[in-house]
Chains A and B, each alone.
Chain A
Amino acid sequence: MTSHPHVLPGRLAYFTGSRSERGALLAFAVLILVLLPLGLDVFRLNIFGKYLTYAFVAVGLVLCWGLGGILSLGQGVFFGLGGYCMAMFLKLEASDPVSTAIQSTPGIPDFMDWNQLTALPWFWEPFHSLAFTLVAVIVVPTVFAFVLGSALFHRRVGGVYFAIITQAVASILSILIVGQQGLTGGLNGITDLRTLLGWDIRSDAAKYVLYYVNAFLLLAVILGGAYIRNCKLGRILVGIRDQEDRVRFTGYNVAAFKTFIFCVAAAFSAIGGAMFTLQVGFMSPTFVGIVPSIEMVVFCAVGGRLSLVGAAVGTLVVNFAKTTFSESFPELWLFAMGALFIGVVSAFPLGLAGLYERHLAPRLSRWRQGGSAAAVLSSTPGE
């Protein structure tokens, strides 16, 4: 105890948070960086990589819903926009005039040719450039979230109304994508993606590389989320969730804060979407509509709406269960998923992370303290 107990050592501390947060993050990093790659073959690892792309959405929801109390039922929109931006670039690369020579109009994506389009639509043009694409992956969904968020939050639309309107937006976008087959690939989506600047993304080596890129991006996003939660902005969000008027009458522009965190959640989801496209090799409207959007909320709820790592773990657990279950008992899966929705909301509102904090963590710390007397002495008696 050199200086005052309340002074924090510096902003870096915001990234790591409390000791149990640090421990959880470290354990999760070991799981996805070491254990999964060692324990799974490349096919299964790729599937887990796919699950981890949904975790970006869940982490964004912890910030926006768990912390800020803003429930968005349209996160699939941002996941999809990010994914579609990436898919458009990859599709254009796969549709060079040589490999599409048999089409009536060579050089445009195959589904456009099937739909009697004879030229590339204008909004596809810039996606020839990878630099533009990478910027668009983040910027397009974030700007969309900004427009939607600032319009609604400035007019004090929140809670249930916000949830319903975001859900409507998800529904509209998925109907639009399905309906405009010639421009978007319709219900099938944008498929048959092969290379990134000539590098075959379907090879085993590429799958490993992409898995690790995805895993590191996810950890970075979790760290960024931890910073937001632990700095003053995080406490303002909690304030907005619990006492919105008090925050407003403390001189904060509440709408600006809500818009900001909604945009952050959108940007996170978009990164997940782009990584999905790269790892799975296609993007389709089934990841945009209301069903995937609300499922992603449940991933977050199962893991724990207040815990960043918890939400990521929850995503893995639910998806792993879904795959295992629906392979062997396809009928039971919907029952199980429905029960999960009901159970998590009514019995375990803090999810797996809450169960851990309540039951496992005290036992762990007792065990640790029993293990060494030194630990008891060094641990601060800060109750």
Chain B
Amino acid sequence: MRYLPLTSADRAEMLESIGAASVDDLFVDVPAQARLPGPIEGLPAHASEMAVERHMSALAAKNVSAGSAPFFLGAGAYRHHVPASVDHLIQRGEFLTAYTPYQPEIAQGTLQVLFEFQTQVARLFGTDIANASMYDGSTACWEAILMAARVTRKGKAVLSSGLHPHYGEVVRTMAKFTKDEIVSLNTELTAEPDDAAVIAQIDDKTSCVVVQYPDVLGRIPDLSAIAEAAHAKGALLVAVVTEPVALGLIEAPGNLGADIVVGEGQSLGVGLQFGGPYLGLFGCREKFVRQMPGRLCGQTVDADGKRGFVLTLSTREQHIRREKATSNICTNSGLCALAFSIHLTLLGGEGLAKLAAVNHARAQAMIERLGRIPGVEVLNEAYFNEATLVLPRDAREVVRELAERGVLGGVSLGRLFPVADGLHKGLLVAATETTTAEDIETFATQLEELLVGVPA
């Protein structure tokens, strides 16, 4: 077995040194009836690299990869070009095979990266501080609601109808058990986001309002107005960013009054990977730092006075506070945070702005072209790289038929909101810098054919 360095002779010698007759002597605490007599049934014996690669490659080949077809999906996961150096660097063994930096003297590489990452996220979000990442955007969103409840000592969270429905599901699932009150609003096909409806729900019991920016239909809420209304009632504004590239073009939520900004960082440095691993971003005002969930890396000095970094404020965390911890989270998303950070370092602020401008331009080209198809309406007045079309027929069927024609043509609102009424004709389409003019033309041609003769 290529991964096991002990030889049979080693094993025999070691057993003799420790005075055991056989390895079974080491399992004496396991009751005999619970011990398996031999290798577990069903699973084949060990296999060579070549054989395993053959099996896995065959499974991979059954999937249509995003890069192999005209591709227009978004809805919380975006296909961007990841520079080659990102993947090379995260595969350095010193990053890939290191553990959580609990021994800071020999983990300064990881720690400095986390410190740089926190600074980048804070600057991108316009918040004072940021943590060292969380599982993903949806769990970061739930953690933000819990934190807002700790800060305000109130327990009612208002979710905008523009929040990604899966994020809303995660929040509602968790809240069932914590007894937090969650107010959800119904998503409707309107050109403007539901700012007014959100504001109308804020009262003295409200701990926070949760608003996605841009929202799940690609619309852009007026965060300043919502922040003002929330603050007037002693509530916090939690802004959720599922497409961080947007912040190269539109204003950072922290600069618009958001108290906590969370997001999904997958767009930068991390591939689509069928949904994970991704990374949750989490930034907030400095005065909330002791209520923050997740790991934090802080600057300090070593015994020689040299600058160095450590994990800090760990008394908030589960391994010390146990049942009084701010969160039960133990792991962050270190390697994805590294990829995010490298990609953002390669881009810089100007590169990010340029990238955002290209994304927006491609989206405009896409929306203009698709909007010319008879029967297709464009919902949004404003969008970044993703917008909602209203088709003359069920969008879910259209997406399936497009797939048969070799086009991955967006995400139907029927898939995203399976139980909601009145959304089934909605189609969410995204473009990024990877989208070509030919892709758009192929998509438009195929969509047009599928809609021929359908009454609007």
Q: Is A bound to B?
A: no
